[in-house]
Structure 1
Amino acid sequence: MITVIGTGTGAPPAPEALAGAELVVGGRRHLDAVRLPETAERIVLGPLAPALDTIEEYVGKDRPVAVLASGDPGFFGIVRALAERFGSALLDVRPGVSSVATAFARLGLAWDDAVVVSAHGRELRTAVNVCRAHPKVAVLTGPGAGPAELGAALPGGRVLVVASALGDPEHERVERVTAAEAAARDWGTAVSVVLCLDETRVLGAVRTVAGAPGGPERWALDEREFTHRDSMITKFEVRALALARLGPRLGDLVWDVGAGSGSVAVECARLGAAVVAVEKTADGVERIRANAVAHGVDVQVVHGEAPVALSQLDDPDAVFVGGGGRELPVIVTACARRARRSVVVAMAALDRVPVTRQALVGAGFDCDGVLLQSSRLAPLPGDVTRLAATNPVFLLWGTRTPVSREGVAQ
């Protein structure tokens, strides 16, 4: 039997939990904080594989093993690795209070509406994108992915709550800082968790399902639900297919280049992605911001012209290009060189289709596309209905092999 004991953010483990253990495995601070059986072998966790091999030797001889872990070891913890190696039936898990629950408790905040994302041993970009998109996020940190790195990658307006040494009455600290303040400090190795809060949007409604809100009830919204200029907006039929090919989701970063009214940007944000909208006109920038506010989402708006304005942005998972004029092939090439998953391009001019396709293929994408022509129901006098044709639009998309992503708990 392997007894897995959560410790570190609450009361120390009961002595009987360790009684009889012939092998005790854990981090150095966990091992130093408890009284171990005098005859027990002790292994300080470093690389996991050698420890698992030693545990297997003891288990094979039916010798009891205890594993010490932080907080709740079933929450982004060692339980997964132990269950995969030895089977869940062999585990006696005794969870403590997780660092996430403890940090929110210290602030007096409910966290059933929070998203939890691990940056420990994983790409920081996923955590950054979740923090951009969602108003209440807990980030489990690690070497190279701590408060400083997180703060440096986030835009202004976020409050970071850095919780260190949780459960240690002498050294515990819970500090509220701006992203810039977090980026400017050396936080050491005692950080337990970082909470990222957008206090202008923190959710407060009673929840039925924990974690990030589910997707919106509908998408490809009617043009009348956006502020736009002279019908210069991606029509909902085009937007529907564009969204399907972009595949925006929690943890993604999407660019909307030549955003216009920002309808695609707003829809991607409603589906959970972090979004940057690039727009060259000042009145367009204001419309995008107004539409984001109206739909309750956070869209970072960059006032500039592609491709120059793209150089300072983080690499996206997906890109929608809705403008570009004669510079379209250059813009598509710049986007395609940096997109991790897909680029979708909408255009009205037939002569731009071949060069756009060439730009996508030249960047290593598989390319496909359609000509979208639709006719909408429109009323006529006398209580009759006609079909009103919309302008045809070419939609091309390039795709790479999907990039796997782990570490987000919803």
Structure 2
Amino acid sequence: MITVVGTGTGAPLPPDAEAAVAGAALVVGARRHLAAVRLPEGAERIVLGPLAPALDAIARYFDKADGTEETDGQQETYEEKETDGQRGGRVVVLASGDPGFFGIVRALAERFGSRRLDVRPGVSSVATAFARVGLPWDDAVVVSAHGRDLRTAVHVCRSRPKVAVLTGPGSGPAELGAALAHRSGARVLVVASALGDPAHERVERVTPGEAAARDWGTAVSVVLCLDESRVLAPVRTVAGPAAGPDRWALDEAEFAHRDSMISKFEVRALALARLGPRLGDLVWDVGAGSGSVAVECARFGAAVTAIEKTPDGCDRIRANAAAHGVEVRVVHGAAPTVLSDLEDPDAVFIGGGGRELPAIVTVCARRARRAVVVAMAALDRVPAVRDALDAAGFACDGVLLQSSRLAPLPGNVTRLAATNPVFLLWGVRPPARTEGVPQ
């Protein structure tokens, strides 16, 4: 049996966890965790650094306790040990907070099986950080940047008003602040250091720019990214990120637009299906016009940048985003030139471009990680757009959308009113080939 004890956020170990440690034959934990508890005399200990060697050491201990161990291809037999009535003694793993929440329980369960684990959770660093600032967190989104690419955390922080980011080397408050300083709305970062340590705990509110300018050391475990105007959401039934929209491909009347210059809902419906916007993604809407596609992507949880060359168009996009309660970053400028200053997107929708359209598609296809979707009214531009997608290595497909809508006539009768046909082309980047794995 492996007893996993959560510690490290200030609360003393409960009696049953103390008893588990007292009866341990092998104790595994970070240096600070091992120093914070009274270890039984004679117990073996492993200082937790890289995870794989520690898991291997635990496996060897179990092999030894079970009476067998592989040494140079020869199976050696050991005398069975009895400690506290358990064969081979107890293995205790000390971890921070709740070890089942982005913690070591996952790795232990995968290696040894969940039935071999006895987990005694403590209070997670996320719960502690929100407690320190007096906020509920059932509506927060939690993202781990520990040992992971920071970009997902950045995009979630841009699109959601209450986010907790679990940090790590190279993905701390400074890096997060630098990424958010010029790409998000009014955000405050709450940086929690040495949580639970009475002598060293610090919880500081800073702007992203201030966070970027500091050296925070290694004691930070969690950063809260908050839009303080929206941190108190209505009572929730389901924890975590807000539920997705109950409908999409909204009617054109639900957006402010100029002279019907807006992607029709039939076009948006298919475009959204091919873009696949989701929480943690970055989507560009190039030639955004009214920003209807940008707003719909943001409603699905994506971080969105809308590129529009006209000042009045930029104002409309901001107004539409505010009316639908989402955040859209608006960039005033002409594509493809203005795109060079933007972070690489996961998906791109191109709804405008004129004569520059092939060049815009070429740039977007080179930088998009997953998909590019292009809407066109002009037949002449279809071949060049398809060539640009093909040249970038995308799998390309498309349709001509021709729809007719119900329209009333006098006498309480109905006719079909045709909308203008639109070509929708899309390119999807094939998955990367893995050497030795057939595709």
Q: TM-score, normalised by structure 2?
A: 0.91
Aligned counterpart, 2:127: 101
- Write out per-residue CA displacement over residues 269-296 of structure 1, whole angstroms, 9 at most, x where no aligned residue: 0000000000000000000000000000
**Equivalence map 1:178-193=2 (5 Å):** 178-193=207-222
- What is the SS of the residue equivalent to 1:22? strand
Unpaired segments ≥5 residues, structure 1: 404-410
State the Cα distance separating 1:47 from its structure 2 match: 1.2
Q: Which amino acid aligns with 1:265?
A: A
**Equivalence map 1:299-314=2 (5 Å):** 299-314=328-343
Distance in 1 (alpha carbons) for counterparts of 2:399 and 2:319: 31
State the Cα distance separating 1:402 from its structure 2 match: 5.3
Distance in 2 (alpha carbons) for counterparts of 1:203 and 1:291: 23
User: Is contact 1:6-1:68 (8 Å) kept?
Assistant: yes
User: Is contact 1:12-1:34 (8 Å) kept?
Assistant: no
Question: 18-27 or 323-332, which moves further after superposition?
Answer: 18-27
State the Cα distance separating 1:202 from its structure 2 match: 2.6
* Residue 41 (str. 1) matches residue 44 (str. 2): yes
Q: Which amino acid aligns with 2:2?
A: I
- Write out per-residue CA displacement over residues 165-193 of structure 1, whole angstroms, 9 at most, x where no aligned residue: 00000000000000000000000000020
- Write out per-residue CA displacement over residues 102-129 of structure 1, whole angstroms, 9 at most, x where no aligned residue: 0000111000010000000111000000
Distance in 2 (alpha carbons) for counterparts of 1:272 and 1:221: 16
Distance in 2 (alpha carbons) for counterparts of 1:207 and 1:264: 28
User: Is contact 2:195-2:201 (8 Å) kept?
Assistant: yes
Q: Which amino acid aligns with 1:126?
A: T
Q: Which amino acid aligns with 2:9?
A: T
* Residue 398 (str. 1) matches residue 424 (str. 2): no
User: Is contact 1:160-1:197 (8 Å) kept?
Assistant: yes
Distance in 2 (alpha carbons) for counterparts of 1:369 and 1:231: 24
Aligned counterpart, 1:152: 178
State the Cα distance separating 1:150 from its structure 2 match: 0.3
Instruction: Answer with 1 or 2: which has the greater Rg.
Output: 2
- What is the SS of the residue equivalent to 1:320? strand
State the Cα distance separating 1:203 from its structure 2 match: 4.2
State the Cα distance separating 1:151 from its structure 2 match: 0.4
Distance in 1 (alpha carbons) for counterparts of 2:353 and 2:389: 15
- What is the SS of the residue equivalent to 1:216? coil
Among 25, 28, 33, which residue is 2:28 paired with? 25
Aligned counterpart, 2:146: 120
State the Cα distance separating 1:4 from its structure 2 match: 0.2
Aligned counterpart, 1:335: 364
State the Cα distance separating 1:328 from its structure 2 match: 0.3
Unpaired segments ≥5 residues, structure 2: 66-87, 433-439
State the Cα distance separating 1:401 from its structure 2 match: 3.2
User: Is contact 2:22-2:38 (8 Å) kept?
Assistant: no
Q: Which amino acid aligns with 1:21?
A: A
User: Is contact 1:20-1:37 (8 Å) kept?
Assistant: yes
Aligned counterpart, 1:10: 10
User: Is contact 1:5-1:95 (8 Å) kept?
Assistant: yes
Question: 5-14 or 225-234, which moves further after superposition?
Answer: 5-14
Aligned counterpart, 1:220: 249
User: Is contact 1:10-1:71 (8 Å) kept?
Assistant: no
Distance in 2 (alpha carbons) for counterparts of 1:402 and 1:146: 30
Q: Which amino acid aligns with 1:63?
A: G
Q: Which runs of 4+ in 1 moved over 3 A?
A: none
State the Cα distance separating 1:341 from its structure 2 match: 0.3
Distance in 1 (alpha carbons) for counterparts of 2:320 and 2:46: 56
Aligned counterpart, 1:408: none
State the Cα distance separating 1:209 from its structure 2 match: 0.1
Q: TM-score, normalised by structure 1?
A: 0.97
Q: Which amino acid aligns with 1:28?
A: R
Among 98, 119, 129, which residue is 1:72 paired with? 98
**Equivalence map 1:245-256=2 (5 Å):** 245-256=274-285
Distance in 2 (alpha carbons) for counterparts of 1:235 and 1:315: 27
* Residue 277 (str. 1) matches residue 306 (str. 2): yes
State the Cα distance separating 1:140 from its structure 2 match: 0.1
User: Is contact 2:138-2:239 (8 Å) kept?
Assistant: yes
- Write out per-residue CA displacement over residues 328-373 of structure 1, whole angstroms, 9 at most, x where no aligned residue: 0100010011100000000000010000000011011000000000
Q: Which amino acid aligns with 1:174?
A: V
Question: 308-317 or 255-264, which moves further after superposition?
Answer: 308-317
Distance in 1 (alpha carbons) for counterparts of 2:369 and 2:239: 30
**Equivalence map 1:361-372=2 (5 Å):** 361-372=390-401
Cα 1:402–1:210 shift into 2, 3 Å: farther
* Residue 199 (str. 1) matches residue 228 (str. 2): yes
- Write out per-residue CA displacement over residues 290-329 of structure 1, whole angstroms, 9 at most, x where no aligned residue: 0000000000000011111111111100000000001001
Q: Which amino acid aligns with 1:324?
A: G
Aligned counterpart, 2:344: 315
- What is the SS of the residue equivalent to 2:313? helix
Q: Which amino acid aligns with 1:118?
A: S
User: Is contact 1:135-1:203 (8 Å) kept?
Assistant: no
State the Cα distance separating 1:37 from its structure 2 match: 1.1
* Residue 81 (str. 1) matches residue 107 (str. 2): yes
Q: Which amino acid aligns with 1:356?
A: V
Among 240, 264, 278, which residue is 1:235 paired with? 264
Distance in 1 (alpha carbons) for counterparts of 2:42 and 2:89: 13
Distance in 1 (alpha carbons) for counterparts of 2:390 and 2:146: 35
**Equivalence map 1:156-171=2 (5 Å):** 156-171=185-200
User: Is contact 1:233-1:263 (8 Å) kept?
Assistant: yes
User: Is contact 2:168-2:221 (8 Å) kept?
Assistant: no
State the Cα distance separating 1:67 from its structure 2 match: 0.3
RMSD over aligned CA atoms reads 1.0
- The count of residues paired between Structure 1 and Structure 2 equals 403
Aligned counterpart, 1:92: 118
